[in-house]
Structure 1
Amino acid sequence: MEYEEKIAKIKNIVDLPISKFKPDELKAILERYEKNHAKSKLAFERARKIIPGGVEHNLAFNYPFPLESKRVFDCYMETVDDIVLTDYLMDGGPIILGHNHPVLTEKVIEVIREIGPCHGITNEYEYLAAEQLQKHFPSCEIIRWLQTGTEADMLAIRIARVATNRKWIIKIGGSYHGWSDQLVYDMHVPGTKLLESHGIPKNVFKFTDSCPPNDIETLRQMFKEKRKVAAVLIEPMGGESGANPVRPGFNKEVEELCHENKTLLISDEVVCAFRLHMGGGQAYYGYEPDLSVFGKIVGHGYPSAAAIGGKEEYMKFCAAGVG
């Protein structure tokens, strides 16, 4: 689907009149849901006594109550009520081989059994995995493994500030780059700025700003006004995983503008890596970032999996070890 077609479809949806269920229709739907998923309801009532909101992930739907899974396989989930459903969420996207892929699962079990799950000592899988990631992302000359996509974005902006000796970070309005304090700004809906930054002092955002999506001229003006911009962060498809779609050529224009101003371009590949293209959004849209960040996709949804990669001249600032 081309950019213009996406924009037209979004506009058509927005222009549609708001429709509502009739009260008796909604009541019937809720009654049927509760009848079919009685065990899930009981599980939710137990969970909400000890877990805030009764769920552990912000993507969960908890009205009237969430479905509880008993097992997952391929592209399906089986609930505690023994109902098999197609899973369109797939852990938010990283399970591209399907749930519980036998070859992958067996290899993970083998590695844990023979090597151990976590030992803090260098192992060959660290560089073997990095070499595989670099094969598809040539812009990642050096790679460092991390725990979460949020952590990867945090490290990326810190590297940019050290490398450039500048402070300003600019993100594109509506984009999501994790929930670290500095980046909980203008998320989801462009122009909302501090709307979702509850509990974060305003001075934390002293050197964070956002540019409207697809507006290269405003970004150019922001460079002139701020002068010392350390980095620009982009979601390759646009904010909200492409819900605010990027226009053709915009990412390349941002890359060129960053290079003109000796500013680092950070490509947040948490959503796009291996899904949009094996080489992520940067390969699909044709631009070369200075740093790239990755989330759960690099571990196929297994916990504690994320990475940052980039040019050696910048990645040297996060070298580990003593000596």
Structure 2
Amino acid sequence: MPEGHSVHRIARQFARNFVGREVAASSPQGRFAEGAALLNGREALAAKAVGKQMFVEFDGDLWLHVHLGLYGAWDFAGEILVDPTIASANGRMGQTNQRGTDLGDRVMDAAGENSLTSIGAPRRTRVHVRMSEQTRGLDDEGEQWPPPVVGQVRLRLLTELTCADLRGPTKCEVQSTDEMLRTIARLGPDPLVGDPEEGEERFTQAVRRKRTAIGLLLMDQSVVSGIGNVYRAELLFRARLNPHTPGKDVPEEVVRGLWRDWVGLLKTGVETGQMMTMDGLDPEDYRKAMASRDDRHWVYHRGLPCRVCGTSIVVEEAAGRKLYWCPSCQA
């Protein structure tokens, strides 16, 4: 399932490429035909993410609310302006974010960071070139525009330059402003939404009053927004915290440390597009980690001994999801 960093990246792509433009909306699959009809021909006014939920505002007091869930993904085509605050954001964005990234010819600076993050001006990336009248529906590379519908597209949003196709979401609905605000009110704090210090207080109070295991609380989107299976495992390991510890038994300073670590990891995830959770890597190891998930996590999905102590990583079921942790480092 896409975690918080992926959804923030997608929202920023919508803000860059759809906001301020009239949008044609359709439901090629047919399952969102009524909702698409409500949005069709309206101007997109804003786009934002809160945890794993994305909201796009349209004129007429309408909001598109999307939760990708386990199988959802957005596919972008056309002329895409990449938000300067993120390393790259063209092509497929969604559940595929967990696969390794082909670094290709990307330039990496001395610190191993993707150099696009340091460029202030937008970068124009062509995935498909917009058609001209002379080509009768084909772009100058012979590709059709708008691109043909492939698979079960729940929602297609289209401007003159950019196409976004949504497939397989858990939630896709049109809301009023009041309904959108009620949805957000049910969510826990997100470090990139509102005041992080207020978010820290909300998170700390929510955790410290519950007997639920901290490993479950971190996945509870009413406690904290955006954390999924990967970040849950990595945050707990980085804190050397047993996932079965009741929230109320976790020392306050440790709870606050979890939040502050989440603030940093989320920002890194938005900038790079990867859940980089290992610190202190040299440039070559950073390159490897950015290219391969197995090289950028401490315990998640690790079928090898703990990187720190050599103990076998435990994999168990926790509320229907796999939980990875080291029984020695996190005793």
Q: Quick check: TM above 0.5?
A: no
> TM-score of the superposition, structure 2-length normalised?
0.28
- Compare the two structures and name the one with the higher strand fraction: 2
> TM-score of the superposition, structure 1-length normalised?
0.28
